Amino acid sequence: MTSRKSPFLTVDIVIRWEEGLVLIKRKNDPFKGKWALPGGFVEWGETVEDSARREAEEETGLKVELDRLVGVYSDPDRDPRGHVVSLCYSGKKVGGKLRPATDAAEVKIFKRIPWDSLAFDHDEMLKDANLR
């Protein structure tokens, strides 16, 4: 393989639970203090599905079962850190206890989504997941 610049790969997860949506408050920049879907970077040698399950548990304490792929988000300007492509999944809780961890300052179940306080392009992901 030749050396070339490539986008980074991330996953985000729409977790519906208790008649609401699980969001994390970001502990770090970019978008520190904004609400976001749980998610993060795919690790080398990891499938995107395994990454989504791992990130959900790392950030929320919840074990999730993935339902479907919501969409692929590849706008080169969607993340201020650089060109980052995200695969967004929807899933449901199958275990664990809700608690913030790793990059999450807080985790909360929202009955009403804080549309004006969302990080990245997560409003678009939630619309594609039929939550608006």
Q: For residues 45 and 105, what is the distance between their CA atoms, to the nearest angstrom?
A: 28
pLDDT tens track for 97-116: 999 988 899 999 999 999 99
Output the six-digit token pair for 20: 């609401």
pLDDT of residue 2: 63
pLDDT tens track for 83-94: 999 999 999 999
Domain 8-127: CATH superfamily is Nucleoside Triphosphate Pyrophosphohydrolase (3.90.79.10)
Mean pLDDT of the chain: 95
Which residues have CB under 8 Å from 98's CB, separation 6+? 17, 22, 60, 61, 62, 107, 109
At 131, the pLDDT band (50, 70, 90 cuts) reads confident
Domain boundaries, the chain: 8-127
Q: Is 106 a catalytic residue?
A: yes
Q: For residues 77 and 63, what is the distance between their CA atoms, to the nearest angstrom?
A: 31
Q: For residues 98 and 56, what is the distance between their CA atoms, to the nearest angstrom?
A: 10
C-alpha neighbours within 13 Å on the C-beta side of residue 129 = 26
Higher pLDDT, 18 or 50: 50
pLDDT greater than 60 at residue 20: yes
pLDDT greater than 70 at residue 1: no
Q: Which of 18, 43, 65, 106 is catalytic?
A: 106
